[in-house]
Structures are given as structure tokens and as C-alpha cells.
């Protein structure tokens, strides 16, 4: 809705932002964008709103009062309050159409000037230049086609540059079920049927709906489906249009005409006008027919098929099953073709026809034809009769069609009078087309979105029971459609059944489209119950952890869009709530302890304060969210990199922040058990994920690190942290790959230092300076050990051997520096690597032998330089360098980021 588009409602937004944002005001380069790029439309909205705001207040008030009288009493005209009432937009739309119509209605160009008249110009040009001059002066259609093609290509390239990725990745089955079908035949047949339905809407717009989402139209899954006949008819017409026009001969015709024009220009005006052959009547008729066929093909391609093709689900899947708005430009082409067909029929009807008994003249000259045509049966110059009856029938047909379209347009305007009438018209149309089973045959009571919106309208009327019926119908139509869950929850609570509504609201937290509303509703519900009876342990915030997880996910999405305030608002709610509950619990003292005991015994939940770890993790991630939002979602911004390193440094002391907030908000006994999951995950990959409530879950930490890491696959710190996040999610094999890539990238930095080259990686502890030798060695050794514990057994021997090599270098450096304690720790780590190699058996014999020699060398105290040399040798899995290995590792994505193969675009 443009009501919430800051590019329309906020004069502080720059006009440059119109070119960078989509139709909804979101950064179009964001993966969360709908990719609907309409900057001129948004600019027109902004200008019209500004003009409306400049009107005197009493004028605005009078219009708003009149509008309010026509709306239901419970309808809130939020758009009107923001200066976006539809009335001025519709008025401006009519004025714009009138202006454009006036501009295109102009006198036809004069045909008095021929080729010979330009002979003086063409004669002075060389051969290729003559052809170009002919295209510019004598054949302007050619020049227009070239210019239009160039403008179209330039627009597509501009849009590609602005949008980065033109495909939309966030559509759902309820919006477009075609890509979710497992049958290729069903996808193809349904796409073809949709095209015929679009053509039907142009021909006979009897059944119209504001929403055609699943399942308005059942998918076409069989060749025997009778609806395929409509597809065959449509494509048969399009093929006939192409064959009749013979476009493959057009370029040859133009080329011959250009050469003739150039030759005539070279020979002078006399040569150009002499020797012209007189075309026969049949040739003239064929030329006129071919010209008309090619004109119809041009209109069909440029104004009917062309504007619709990007949204046709042919090149890629879009986020709309059927959208009547997509027929705006095609309707212009349809009207032109319909008018041309009727005009052609009238010309044929008004063309003189031969009288009965008339004899065709033997001659074929123009004089003979004129003399015969001018004589009647009495020899006087009477005209031959025309098909007057056919002409009258055509005029009558045109009048009936125009009247029918006018009446349908007039009635449809009343459907758009309000949101209520709009969706009720869709449901009524669906019931009118319903079959014996009660399911809508055409439009559109079986649409999940229509049912959802009807339920919302019933809630506005106060009819909770009817609203629940619509919400449950929406869920039954498409169970994966998560939006109805929130509305079912709030409706049940409003209907006096909070016990049934509370689980629905908690489940709605998992739906990103309703998570914020569900959180607000739960917060209000818990707050009201607590205020009513503070000693009652029933309204416990046992969903606090889930709420914080969802809020952090929302904050990450806002940050990627560059919406800093929205991101901070989402995080602020969770931070304030956690702090308030911790303070309240500390003030209640013994009463809080009693409440916790009752809650644990009766409700199985914890009424105590949330553990401090939850608050610490939230506070640790907040600066990174803020930096990402202030950088307009650019993960490579310097401030984002600094905050990323700061957060990863904190993780060394607080590794539990890699787990979900829901885990951190558990009772103390469960939290203590969960605290060991990070260490246990090294030996048993997936243990942390299981403790968090399921393998493969995308935690806020995982989502945030993925945003930053995916922008720079050659940063060893981000690679290592992404590997650890995958380990916590139970994806140990993928985590091992990223950890080994991190070790390889660090090894390359050590090699650069050994060769006297400056490092290209910054220090994790202090991003203002390059990474040091010891820091890189320590991080490399840790990454290798973790990768060896998580990876495949056949790779573990090599990884443990490389880890032993790094530990030996660290021990040697510590011993040389006189750091006895540090040297002992590194020696212990070296001994652990050797123990792991011994467990590997014969497969690790070579690496074990090398590690033993390294241990002996470390005990004898080799030079520090030798240690550097050992660590500088190539390691990590084979794969063609850092970029190749990083690209291979980039295949590992969070579970929540996986999408169907095709995207959508508006």
C-alpha cells in the first residue's frame, strides 16, 4: 500500500530514492523486495499528494466529510488522513488520459513529397549513407522501431543494474501455485490456460476480482481437460497473425526499397520518376492485405503480447497468479485491434458490389473499370449498390458492445467504492460461478486471500463468529498459508476463548508476515493479565525467547532494507521486555520464587527472570543490527565489518549466543544442560541443534552472520563463524567445509607475511590493524581442529595433521618468547592432535609419523622462523585457491534462505 510508502508520504525522502526503491518503498536490490519497479508512478503519487496538501483545509475537509458519508461507519479512512484519498488520484488519472489522447490525435503526415523530391539530398551521399537517409526521411517507421528497441533495451539494463537480482524470491503457493506443482505438464498447461483467461478478461470482463490467488482457478493437469481448448484457440490466433503477416519478408522489402531510393536519388529526380511499373489490381490488393496483416502483427507484438510477456510466467515465475492490473497496456492494444477489425468490416460493407447480371469488362485499364463502375442498369451514372444491411448490423453490434462495456465499467466502479464492497464482489462472483460442490468455478470465493480479507471485514463489523469461519476457510484452502493463524488467535480471544487463541498467536510467531502483530498481541495479553492479577503465575512469558527470536529476524530484514528505525524498534521491544522482567523479578524477591515454584509444578514453565545470558546476547548483537541498517543493508560497509569483528570477538567468551533465544530463556536446569551443547557438538554434531529444538533451525545469530558472510566469501573470520553457526544448526559437514576454507585463507596470509607482503586481512581483535602472525596461527589451528572433528573421516587425518603442524609452530614461538604457560598449552593441543591421529588407525599413519617428528622438534626448541615456514605450506582441501574453495563453500546456505529455482517479478 502506498499509504506506508515513505517515498510517497515523506517529503524528506530524496527523489533519488525513487530510482532505488520498488513500488512499495523498499530497496529494490534487497532480496526481500517484490521487484516491482515503477518510479514514475510513485513520483506521480507523490506529486498528487503534494497538490492535495496545498489545497485549502476547508476544501479538504469538505471532501473528506463527503467521502465519510459514503463509507461504512466502522471503516477507517487511513489513506484520507495521510492525504492519499483515492479521489484526487482518480481525477488526475482522468486528466492524464485526456491529455495523452489529445497529444496522439494529430493530423496525418503529408504524402506530397516523394523520393524524387529528396534526390538533391540523397544524391550527395555515398551508398550506405543513402540507405540511412532513406530510413530517416522516407521510412520513419523503421527509425521509430530502432529507437523504441534501443529505449527498451536501455530500460531493461537500467532496471537490472538497479535491482541487482531481478527475480523475486519470496513468493508463496497462495500467490502463484504454478511453480509449486511437481508435474511439468501441469505447469505448462496451467500457464497456457492462464493466458487464455487473460484474453477472456479482455474480450468479456464479466467476472472480475481484486484477488485471483490460490485456488481461484484449479490447475490444469491433464491433456483431456476441456479448458485446453481455450489455450489452443488463443495460440491458434497468434500463430495465424504471424503467418499472415509474413514478417520474414519485411526486412527484404525494406532493403529493396532503400536500394531503389538510393538508385533513384543517384540518377536524379527524372530517373527516379521515370520507368515506374504500374501495379496490377491484384498486386495492389495483396500489398494492402499484407500491409494490414503486418500492422496487426506490430500492434499485437508491441501493445498486446509485449507488455504482458514479462508477467506471463514463461521466462520466470512471477508473484501473481492472475492480476487484472497487468492488462492495462494490453487493453490498449486490444482496443486498437478491435477498432481496426470493425473498421475493416465497415469498409468491406460499404464497398460497391456488382449489380445482378453485370458483365465484367474485358479490359483491365483504369478507364474501363471506372466506366463500368459508373453505369447503372439504365446506362446513367448511378452507383452500384452496397451491403447496407451488413453495415447497419455492424453499427448495431458496435453500439451494443460499447453499451455493454460502459455498463460493466459503471457497475465495477461501485465494487471499488470501498474495501468491503471490493472483496464482497469477489466472493459473490465466486458463488455465482460455483458448481454443485459449492466451490467457485471462475471467481473467487475459493481464494485463500479473499477469505482472509472477508474475515477481516467481518471483524470490523464485530461478527467474530463469521470472521472465524472465513479465517478457517482460508487455512483449509491452503494449509501452508500462515497468515490466517494470527487472525484466528485474536478472533478467538475477542470471542472469549483465550485458551484456544493463545496457542494460535504463539504459532503465528513463526510466520514472518504476522510475527510483529502476533508479538504485539501477546505482549498486550500478558500485560493485561499481569496487571489484573500480578500474583497469578498463569500469564507467564514462556514465549519470550521465541518472541525475541522472531523480533531479531524481523530486525535483520529491516536492516537489509536500510530501515534503521524499524530495526531498532523491533530489537528495542525485546530488550525492554527482558530488562523489565529481570528488574521486576529482582524486586519481588520471595514472591517471585513462590510464583516460579507454582508455575513449574502447575504449568511446566519458568516464572523466574530470563537468564542474564539472553540479555547479554541481545546487547551484543544490537550494534551490528544498527550498523547494517545505517549502511542501507550493505554488509561490506566498513562500520558493518568493524561491528561484525567486535561481535565475533565477544562470541569467544559467550559461545552460547550462537543458540536461539528460546534456548537461552529456558529454566536454569535446562539452560545449564544447553550450555554444554557447544562443547558436545564437537564430538556429536547436531547436539546443539537438538537442544535448541530441532536440527536445521535458523537462529538470529545464524541469519545475521549469513548476511555479512555471504557478501565476502574470502574473509577467514566470517568463514569460520559461519562454519560454527552451521555446526550449531546440526549441519556439521557443511560447517567443516567452511572451517577448512577459513584455515586455508589464514594460511595464505601467513604465506604472504613470509614472502614479505602485507596481509590483506584485518585483525579480529583490532580491525584497525592487519592480522598478526600469532593470531592467524591460533585461528587456523582452532579452525582445523573443529573441521577435523566435524568433517568426513577420510579428511580428518589430513586436517589433524595440519592442526598438529600449526600447534607445533605456536609452541615453538611461545618457547622462544619465554612464555612457558602458553608453550605448555600448545604442547597439550599438539598431543591431543596426535591422539586423534592414533585413533584414525592406519589411514592416519603418515600424518601421525609427521606429527611425532613435529613434537620432537618442538621439545628440542627449533627456531621461530622454522615454525613460520611449516605453517606457510599449502593446506586445506584441494580446490584451486581461496576464491574457488570459497565459492564451493558458498553452496551452504541457511535453511530459511532456500527458495524454489525460479523467482517472481512484478
Q: What is the CB neighbour count within 10 angstroms for residue 653?
A: 9
pLDDT tens-digit series, residues 423-448: 888 877 544 444 433 333 445 888 99
377 touches 355 (CB < 8 A): yes
Mean pLDDT of 891-897: 40
Number of domains in the chain: 3
pLDDT at position 455 = 93
pLDDT at position 234 = 96
| pLDDT over 50 at 109, yes or no | no
In whole angstroms, give the CA distance from residue 728 to residue 584: 33
pLDDT at position 111 = 43
Mean pLDDT of 782-794: 82
Mean pLDDT of 37-50: 83
> Does 581 or 778 have the greater pLDDT score?
778
DSSP string, 314-382: SSS--S-S--GGGGHHHHHHHHHHHHHHHHHHHHHHHS--PPTT----S--SHHHHHHHHT--TTSS-P
Domain assignment of residue 842, yes or no: yes
Mean pLDDT of 386-402: 86
pLDDT at position 584 = 62
In whole angstroms, give the CA distance from residue 178 to residue 191: 8
126 touches 241 (CB < 8 A): no
Last residue of a domain, one of 117, 145, 163: 163
Cell numbers found for residue 254: 525494406
Cell numbers found for residue 726: 552451521
Q: Give which of 189, 196, 194, 193 is closest to 222, Cα–Cα.
A: 189
pLDDT tens-digit series, residues 354-374: 554 444 444 444 444 444 444
| pLDDT over 50 at 218, yes or no | yes
| pLDDT over 50 at 107, yes or no | no
In whole angstroms, give the CA distance from residue 578 to residue 610: 7
618 touches 574 (CB < 8 A): yes
**3-class DSSP string for 847-900:** HHHHHHHHHHHHHHCCCHHHHHHHHCCCCCCCCCHHHHHHHHHCCCCCHHHCCC
Mean pLDDT of 761-768: 89
Long-range contacts of 221-228 (CB under 8 A, 24+ apart): 221/183, 221/185, 221/186, 221/189, 221/190, 222/189, 223/185, 223/189, 225/189, 227/193, 227/196, 228/189, 228/192, 228/193
pLDDT at position 570 = 75
pLDDT at position 204 = 92
Is 185 in the same domain as 158?
no
Domain assignment of residue 252, yes or no: yes
pLDDT at position 74 = 57
Q: Is 234 strand, coil or helix?
A: helix
Is 175 in the same domain as 152?
no
Max Cα–Cα distance, the chain, nearest Å: 133
pLDDT at position 264 = 64
In whole angstroms, give the CA distance from residue 614 to residue 851: 42
132 touches 10 (CB < 8 A): no
Mean pLDDT of 763-789: 88
Is 227 in the same domain as 143?
no
In whole angstroms, give the CA distance from residue 665 to residue 659: 11
In whole angstroms, give the CA distance from residue 455 to residue 591: 43
The parent domain of residue 740 ranges over: 713-856
Categorize the per-residue pLDDT at 647 as very low, low, confident or very high, splitting at 50, 70 and 90: very high
Mean pLDDT of 704-728: 88
Is 188 in the same domain as 98?
no
Q: What is the mean pLDDT of the chain?
A: 74
Categorize the per-residue pLDDT at 687 as very low, low, confident or very high, splitting at 50, 70 and 90: very low
pLDDT at position 804 = 83
Is 90 in the same domain as 195?
no
pLDDT tens-digit series, residues 257-298: 666 766 665 555 444 444 445 668 888 888 888 888 988 998
Is 96 in the same domain as 76?
yes
DSSP string, 248-309: GGHHHHHHHHHHHHHHHHHHHHHHHHSSPPPPPHHHHHHHHHHHHHHHHHHHIIIIIIHHHG
Q: Which of 5-14, 271-280, 411-420, 743-752 has the lowest mean pLDDT?
A: 271-280
266 touches 134 (CB < 8 A): no
Count Cβ neighbours within 10 Å for each residue of 258-273 and write b for 16 or more, e otherwise: beebbebbbbebeebe
Is 175 in the same domain as 150?
no
pLDDT tens-digit series, residues 483-538: 999 999 989 888 878 778 888 988 888 887 888 788 778 777 766 665 655 554 44
**328-350 and 281-299 are packed helices; what angle lies between their axes, rounded to 10 degrees?**
160
CA-based torsion, 235, 239, 242, 244: positive or negative: negative
- 672 alpha-carbon distance from chain centroid: 41
DSSP state of 602: I
**3-class DSSP string for 762-790:** ECCCCCCCECCHHHHHHHHHHHHHHHHHH
Q: Is 27 strand, coil or helix?
A: strand
Is 47 in the same domain as 177?
no
Domain assignment of residue 52, yes or no: yes
Is 209 in the same domain as 336?
yes
Cell numbers found for residue 497: 476463548
Q: What is the CB neighbour count within 10 angstroms for residue 817?
A: 12
| pLDDT over 60 at 691, yes or no | no
Instruction: Return the residue matching grid coordinates 627449533.
Output: 862
pLDDT at position 452 = 93
Could you tell me which residues come within 8 angstroms of residue 227 by beta carbon, excluding any fewer than 6 positions away?
A: 193, 196, 220
**464-477 and 448-461 are packed helices; what angle lies between their axes, rounded to 10 degrees?**
170
Is 175 in the same domain as 66?
no
| pLDDT over 50 at 565, yes or no | yes
Half-sphere exposure of 815 (CA within 13 A, CB side): 21
Phi then psi for residue 747, to 5 deg, are -65, -35
Mean pLDDT of 127-151: 66
Q: Which of 218-222, 806-810, 834-838 has the highest mean pLDDT?
A: 218-222
pLDDT tens-digit series, residues 580-614: 766 665 554 444 444 444 434 433 344 444 567 78
Secondary structure E strands in 391-500 = none
Q: Is 325 exposed, middle or buried (0-12, 13-18, 19+ CB in 10 A)?
A: exposed
pLDDT at position 716 = 92
| pLDDT over 70 at 762, yes or no | yes
| pLDDT over 60 at 670, yes or no | no
Beta bridge partners of residue 21, listed in sequence order: 27
Q: Is 904 strand, coil or helix?
A: strand
Domain assignment of residue 606, yes or no: no
Domain assignment of residue 64, yes or no: yes
In whole angstroms, give the CA distance from residue 175 to residue 792: 42
> Does 734 or 901 have the greater pLDDT score?
734
| pLDDT over 90 at 183, yes or no | yes
Categorize the per-residue pLDDT at 566 as very low, low, confident or very high, splitting at 50, 70 and 90: confident
Is 734 in the same domain as 851?
yes
471 touches 503 (CB < 8 A): no
Q: End-to-end alpha-carbon separation of the chain, Å?
A: 15
Categorize the per-residue pLDDT at 685 as very low, low, confident or very high, splitting at 50, 70 and 90: very low
689 touches 651 (CB < 8 A): no
Categorize the per-residue pLDDT at 121 as very low, low, confident or very high, splitting at 50, 70 and 90: very low
Give whole-number Cα distances, 380 to 360, 372, 567, in Å: 17, 11, 90
pLDDT at position 895 = 39
Give whole-number Cα distances, 526 to 577, 590, 894, in Å: 11, 22, 33
Q: Is 661 strand, coil or helix?
A: helix
Half-sphere exposure of 532 (CA within 13 A, CB side): 10
* Cis, peptide link before residue 215, omega less than 30° from 0: yes
Domain assignment of residue 612, yes or no: no
Is 98 in the same domain as 186?
no
Categorize the per-residue pLDDT at 849 as very low, low, confident or very high, splitting at 50, 70 and 90: confident
Give whole-number Cα distances, 427 to 327, 422, 451, 484, in Å: 22, 9, 8, 17
Domain assignment of residue 495, yes or no: no
pLDDT at position 461 = 82
Domain assignment of residue 13, yes or no: yes
485 touches 251 (CB < 8 A): no
Q: Is 533 strand, coil or helix?
A: coil
Amino acid at each position: 500500500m502506498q499509504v506506508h510508502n515513505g517515498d510517497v508520504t515523506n517529503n524528506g525522502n530524496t527523489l533519488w530514492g525513487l530510482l532505488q526503491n520498488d513500488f512499495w518503498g523498499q530497496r529494490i536490490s534487497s532480496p526481500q523486495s517484490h521487484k516491482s519497479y515503477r518510479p514514475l508512478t510513485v513520483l506521480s503519487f507523490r506529486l498528487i499528494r503534494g497538490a492535495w496538501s496545498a489545497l485549502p483545509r476547508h476544501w479538504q475537509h469538505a471532501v473528506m466529510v463527503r467521502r465519510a458519508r459514503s463509507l461504512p461507519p466502522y471503516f477507517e479512512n487511513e489513506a484520507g488522513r495521510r492525504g492519499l484519498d483515492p479521489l484526487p488520484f482518480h481525477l488526475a488519472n482522468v486528466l492524464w488520459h485526456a491529455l495523452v489522447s489529445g497529444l496522439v490525435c494529430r493530423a496525418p503526415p503529408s504524402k506530397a513529397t516523394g523520393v524524387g523530391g529528396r534526390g538533391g539530398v540523397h544524391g550527395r551521399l555515398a551508398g550506405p549513407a543513402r540507405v540511412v537517409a532513406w530510413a530517416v526521411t522516407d521510412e520513419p517507421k523503421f527509425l521509430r522501431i530502432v529507437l523504441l528497441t534501443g529505449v527498451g533495451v536501455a530500460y531493461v539494463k537500467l532496471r537490472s543494474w538497479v535491482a541487482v537480482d531481478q527475480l523475486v524470491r519470496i513468493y508463496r503457493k497462495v500467490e502463484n501455485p504454478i511453480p509449486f506443482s511437481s508435474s511439468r505438464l501441469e505447469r505448462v498447461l496451467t500457464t497456457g490456460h492462464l493466458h487464455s483467461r487473460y484474453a477472456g478478461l479482455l474480450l468479456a470482463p464479466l467476472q472480475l476480482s481484486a484477488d485471483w490467488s490460490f485456488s481461484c482457478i484449479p490447475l490444469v493437469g491433464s491433456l483431456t481437460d476441456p479448458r485446453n481448448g481455450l489455450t489452443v484457440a488463443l495460440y491458434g490466433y497468434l500463430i495465424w497473425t504471424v503467418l499472415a503477416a509474413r514478417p520474414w519478408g519485411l526486412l527484404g522489402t525494406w532493403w529493396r526499397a532503400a536500394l531503389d531510393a538510393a538508385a533513384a536519388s543517384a540518377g536524379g529526380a527524372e530517373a527516379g520518376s521515370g520507368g515506374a511499373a504500374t501495379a496490377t489490381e491484384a498486386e495492389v490488393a495483396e500489398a494492402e492485405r499484407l500491409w494490414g496483416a503486418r500492422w496487426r502483427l506490430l500492434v499485437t507484438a508491441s501493445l498486446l503480447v509485449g507488455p504482458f510477456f514479462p508477467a506471463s510466467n514463461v521466462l520466470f515465475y512471477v508473484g501473481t497468479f492472475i492480476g487484472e492490473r497487468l492488462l492495462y497496456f494490453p487493453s490498449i492494444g486490444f482496443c486498437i485491434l478491435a477498432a481496426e477489425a470493425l473498421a475493416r468490416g465497415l469498409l468491406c460493407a460499404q464497398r460497391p458490389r456488382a449489380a445482378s447480371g453485370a458483365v465484367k469488362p474485358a479490359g483491365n485499364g483504369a478507364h474501363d473499370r471506372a466506366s463500368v463502375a459508373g453505369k447503372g442498369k439504365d446506362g446513367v451514372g448511378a452507383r452500384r449498390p452496397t451491403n447496407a444491411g451488413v453495415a447497419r448490423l455492424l453499427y448495431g453490434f458496435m453500439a451494443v458492445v460499447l453499451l455493454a462495456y460502459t455498463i460493466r465499467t459503471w457497475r465495477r466502479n461501485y465494487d471499488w467504492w470501498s474495501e468491503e464492497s471490493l472483496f464482497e464482489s469477489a466472493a459473490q462472483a465466486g458463488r455465482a460461478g460455483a458448481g454443485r460442490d459449492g466451490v467457485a468455478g471462475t471467481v473467487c470465493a475459493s481464494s485463500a486471500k479473499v477469505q482472509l480479507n472477508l474475515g477481516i471485514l467481518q471483524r470490523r463489523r464485530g461478527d467474530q463468529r463469521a470472521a472465524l469461519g472465513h479465517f478457517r476457510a482460508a487455512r483449509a484452502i491452503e494449509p501452508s498459508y500462515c497468515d490466517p493463524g494470527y487472525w484466528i488467535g485474536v478472533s478467538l480471544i475477542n470471542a472469549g476463548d483465550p485458551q484456544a487463541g493463545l496457542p494460535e498467536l504463539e504459532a503465528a510467531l513463526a510466520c514472518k508476515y504476522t510475527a510483529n502483530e502476533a508479538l504485539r498481541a501477546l505482549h498486550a495479553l500478558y500485560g493485561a493479565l499481569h496487571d489484573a492479577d500480578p500474583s497469578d503465575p498463569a500469564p507467564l512469558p514462556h514465549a519470550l525467547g521465541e518472541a525475541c527470536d522472531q523480533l531479531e529476524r524481523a530486525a535483520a530484514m529491516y536492516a537489509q532494507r536500510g530501515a534503521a528505525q524499524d530495526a531498532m524498534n523491533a530489537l528495542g521491544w525485546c530488550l525492554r521486555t527482558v530488562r523489565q522482567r529481570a528488574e521486576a523479578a529482582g524486586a519481588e524477591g520471595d514472591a517471585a520464587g513462590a510464583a516460579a515454584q507454582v508455575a513449574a509444578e502447575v504449568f511446566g514453565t519458568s516464572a523466574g527472570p530470563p537468564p542474564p545470558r539472553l540479555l547479554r546476547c541481545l546487547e551484543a548483537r544490537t550494534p551490528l543490527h544498527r550498523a547494517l541498517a545505517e549502511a542501507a543493508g550493505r554488509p561490506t560497509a566498513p562500520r558493518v565489518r568493524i561491528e561484525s569483528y567486535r561481535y565475533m570477538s565477544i562470541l569467544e567468551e559467550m559461545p552460547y549466543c550462537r543458540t536461539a533465544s528460546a534456548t537461552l530463556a529456558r529454566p536454569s536446569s535446562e539452560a545449564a544442560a544447553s550450555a554444554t551443547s557447544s562443547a558436545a557438538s564437537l564430538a556429536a554434531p547436531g547436539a546443539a541443534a537438538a537442544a535448541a529444538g530441532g536440527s536445521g533451525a535458523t537462529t538470529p545469530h545464524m541469519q545475521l552472520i549469513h548476511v555479512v558472510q555471504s557478501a565476502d566469501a574470502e574473509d577467514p573470520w566470517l568463514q569460520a563463524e559461519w562454519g560454527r553457526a552451521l555446526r550449531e544448526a546440526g549441519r556439521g559437514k557443511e560447517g567443516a567445509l567452511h572451517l577448512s576454507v577459513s584455515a586455508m585463507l589464514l594460511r595464505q596470509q601467513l604465506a604472504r607475511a613470509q614472502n614479505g607482503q602485507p596481509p590483506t586481512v584485518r585483525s579480529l581483535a583490532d580491525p584497525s590493524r592487519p592480522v598478526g602472525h600469532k593470531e592467524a596461527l591460533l585461528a587456523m589451528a582452532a579452525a582445523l581442529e573443529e573441521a577435523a572433528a566435524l568433517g568426513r573421516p577420510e579428511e580428518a587425518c589430513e586436517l589433524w595433521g595440519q592442526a598438529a603442524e600449526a600447534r607445533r609452530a605456536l609452541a615453538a614461538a611461545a618457547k622462544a618468547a619465554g612464555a612457558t604457560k602458553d608453550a605448555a598449552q600448545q604442547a597439550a593441543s599438539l598431543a591431543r592432535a596426535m591422539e586423534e591421529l592414533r585413533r584414525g588407525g592406519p589411514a592416519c599413519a603418515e600424518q601421525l609419523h609427521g606429527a611425532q617428528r613435529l613434537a620432537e622438534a618442538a621439545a628440542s626448541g627449533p627456531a621461530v622462523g622454522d615454525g613460520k615456514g611449516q605453517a606457510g605450506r599449502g593446506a586445506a582441501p584441494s580446490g584451486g585457491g581461496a576464491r574457488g574453495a570459497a565459492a564451493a563453500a558458498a553452496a551452504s546456505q541457511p535453511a530459511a534462505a532456500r527458495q524454489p529455482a525460479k523467482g517472481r517479478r512484478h
